[in-house]
Amino acid sequence: MTNPFQLLGISDDVVNAVKDLGFETPTPIQEQSIPVLLEGTNDFVGLAQTGTGKTAAFGLPLLELIDFKVTKPQALILCPTRELCLQIANDLKNFSKNVANAHVVAVYGGANIMQQLREIRQGVQIVVATPGRMLDIIGRKAIDFSNVKYVVLDEADEMLNMGFQDDINDILSTTPDDKKTWLFSATMPAEVRRIAKNYMDNPVELTMGTKNTGNVNIEHEYYIVRARDKYAALKRIVDFNPEIFAVVFCKTKLDTQDVAEHLIKDGYNADALHGDLSQQQRDKVMQRFRERNMQLLIATDVAARGIDVNNVTHVINYSLPDEIESYTHRSGRTGRAGKTGISICIINSKELGKIRQLERIIGKQFTKAELPTGFDVCEKQLFSLVHKVHNVEVNVEQIDQYIPRIMDEFKDLSKEDVIKRFASLEFNRFLDYYSKAPDLNAAVGDDRGERGERGERRGRGSEGYTRLFINLGSVDEFTRGDMLSFICNNGKIAGKSVGKIDLKGVFSFFEVEDDVADKVFEGFKSVEFNGRQVRIEKSGDGGRGEGAGERRGGGERRSGGFGGERRSSGGGGYRGGSGGGDRRSSGGSGRREGGSREGGNAGGGFRDFSGRSRDEKGGSREGGSGRREGGSGERRKKW
């Protein structure tokens, strides 16, 4: 039987390679674009989501069109991020593994440029690059693009959003006029249209799905909760989906870090991905996520760009993005490669209008979902456990030797008793946590209590916790994580006994469980930091209550969300405390250290963008990120 890729015009060597990758039939985008691109005579615009098989859609025709006997760059693929660059290069290497003399190089910031230059010198036909590093290499006159016949602009909207417009112009000016340009984009804002108009000659346009339409495999849901219940709602959604493998999107680095820290403390397998991490740290986080050693990746929009991990079951919008189009990119992290996925928005009732806008733009209806009750969660978890027990593979050879002893231990228990105990072992944790779980669903227009609660609770610790003042803060270069270790090390207490940490400028507040407060005082009796005596006081003592502190600190508003439910540690309650406003950077904070909004509209979008080129190159020089944070601008559609 003829292979369907062969029917599309792909040669045997390449077909065999994709077969080895498990590609049996072409995806719709491959089916539509391969025959068009194979002609090699047209410019091309493909409107397609990430995860649809886009790389093979342009990669397979490229391999057919390139003359591999000639070892000169004939194709240049530009893409926005290092991760995507590596992924595309890797895919192309796999597709071309049976093609003699095929050479693909990945050129991206944040890695050793010498190695990349060496590979280029040795001879390549396909260059996959991020724009900043590509320009760097062109500037060194280390590459000759005079034989380039095809340029692919992948995730063009993202490249423009990240401010690569000028770099792309400069790079393309070094390629021949008669090259063909193939542009792929998930969305089609006016700027991408303009690129298509400026760089292309009568391009063939293919739209996979309707414009700006989300992937058909993705269901969209929203939950309405009060701002202070957001974190509890997130946990409940996660608990109700025992097999969840999700990307949780936050708007700021700080929120990302906050949510991840709280989840980790509450026993979830989570980590944060944001622009303050070094490239090495980011790689580590991503590796854990890819290998499924982590269930929840908490990320900012910018950091999550180019993340192509298959089998993500859910995308959770912990906060809605600033720009409408970012939603398409976020939700496109799930529902990849023909799989289904769910994109969830946790919103407050005032954001309902944004959901309606999204529905209009992506042309899909969002389902209003109800947060499950504590009982529902317990039931779901229990049966997940039961099914696991039922389906677990038994290693008879290994376990057999222990069976007589195990049987002996259980001899006084009936089968029913044994089952009850096994189920309880895991289940008690949820039962305990959810026994008094409140209904978190908020009605439309239900914002009651937000202000009052915030006001009432000022200066008080959460229930079961003592709130303490410490004369160290972000100016001493403490992050929340540093502060946590500092408290635990000196107070000789476990991390789970520490509640909220509220890092200010020259001082901070933190909570510890009531019964360890004395221990912490004792531990900090004679601690010095940088030659300074560290001082701890009960918040509110000596006129140094939160109110006083806040005035000094510049009237910062606390992030909302964390609270409302009891922590799994079983300690008495972890109520929202002063939690309130759900946007850290709002409220005229005097805080410098972390209030910076990432990916935010910091005003003057183009000015923002111009910073990125330096960053990317800087990243490459310093072995840094090679990637920018920030950089959404006026050009993008706001709510």
Binding range to ligand AMP, per CB under 6 A, among 54-62, 74-82, 381-389, 554-562: 54-62
What gap in Å lies between CA 322 and CA 303, rounded to an integer? 15
Per rule CB under 6 A, is residue 311 in the interface with ligand AMP? no
Is the Cβ of residue 52 or residue 578 nearer to ligand AMP in the bound state?
52
What gap in Å lies between CA 568 and CA 429, rounded to an integer? 7
Per rule CB under 6 A, is residue 310 in the interface with ligand AMP? yes
Per rule CB under 6 A, is residue 305 in the interface with ligand AMP? no
- In the complex, what is the shortest distance from the CB of residue 308 to ligand AMP, in angstroms, rounded to a whole number? 5
What gap in Å lies between CA 494 and CA 490, rounded to an integer? 11
Out of 52, 187, 497, 539, name the contact with ligand AMP by CB under 6 A.
52
Backbone angles phi, psi at 58, to 5 degrees: -100, -25
DSSP 141: T
Per rule CB under 6 A, is residue 53 in the interface with ligand AMP? yes
Per rule CB under 6 A, is residue 308 in the interface with ligand AMP? yes
Closest CA to 187 of 216, 214, 168, 162: 214
- In the complex, what is the shortest distance from the CB of residue 27 to ligand AMP, in angstroms, rounded to a whole number? 5
- In the complex, what is the shortest distance from the CB of residue 164 to ligand AMP, in angstroms, rounded to a whole number? 20
Per rule CB under 6 A, is residue 626 in the interface with ligand AMP? no
CB atoms within 10 A of CB 286: 21
Is the Cβ of residue 24 or residue 622 nearer to ligand AMP in the bound state?
24
Is the Cβ of residue 6 or residue 367 nearer to ligand AMP in the bound state?
6
Per rule CB under 6 A, is residue 245 in the interface with ligand AMP? no
What gap in Å lies between CA 74 and CA 104, rounded to an integer? 11
Burial (CB < 10 A; 0-12, 13-18, 19+), residue 565, is buried
Decide if 245 contacts 313 (C-beta within 8 A). yes
What gap in Å lies between CA 163 and CA 605, rounded to an integer? 9
What gap in Å lies between CA 617 and CA 203, rounded to an integer? 32
Closest CA to 237 of 373, 433, 355, 359: 373
- Starting from the edge strand earliest in sequence, which strands make up the sheet with 270-273, in order? 270-273, 296-300, 246-250, 314-317, 341-347, 218-224, 367-368
Residue carrying the six token digits 């003057």: 604
What gap in Å lies between CA 262 and CA 562, rounded to an integer? 8
- In the complex, what is the shortest distance from the CB of residue 217 to ligand AMP, in angstroms, rounded to a whole number? 12
Query: x/- contact string, 329-348, with ligand AMP (CB under 6 A)?
Result: -------xx-----------
In 438-588 the beta strands, taken as DSSP E runs, fall at 465-470, 498-503, 508-513, 528-529, 532-533, 536-538
Is the Cβ of residue 27 or residue 343 nearer to ligand AMP in the bound state?
27
CB atoms within 10 A of CB 265: 18
Per rule CB under 6 A, is residue 56 in the interface with ligand AMP? yes
Out of 8, 14, 27, 450, name the contact with ligand AMP by CB under 6 A.
27
Per rule CB under 6 A, is residue 6 in the interface with ligand AMP? no
Helix 113-122 and helix 131-139, axial crossing angle in degrees, nearest 10: 70
Closest CA to 169 of 190, 195, 133, 130: 195
Out of 8, 14, 17, 26, name the contact with ligand AMP by CB under 6 A.
26
- In the complex, what is the shortest distance from the CB of residue 59 to ligand AMP, in angstroms, rounded to a whole number? 8
CB atoms within 10 A of CB 617: 19
- In the complex, what is the shortest distance from the CB of residue 441 to ligand AMP, in angstroms, rounded to a whole number? 36
Binding range to ligand AMP, per CB under 6 A, among 25-33, 174-182, 325-333, 601-609: 25-33
Per rule CB under 6 A, is residue 328 in the interface with ligand AMP? no
What gap in Å lies between CA 95 and CA 63, rounded to an integer? 8
- In the complex, what is the shortest distance from the CB of residue 401 to ligand AMP, in angstroms, rounded to a whole number? 42
Size of the site for ligand AMP (CB under 6 A): 15
Query: x/- contact string, 258-297, with ligand AMP (CB under 6 A)?
Result: ----------------------------------------
Binding range to ligand AMP, per CB under 6 A, among 21-29, 405-413, 424-432, 470-478: 21-29
Out of 32, 55, 317, 620, name the contact with ligand AMP by CB under 6 A.
55
Q: Tokens standing for 128?
A: 């996959």
**Which residues of this chain interact with ligand AMP, rule CB under 6 A?**
23, 26-27, 30, 50-56, 308, 310, 336-337
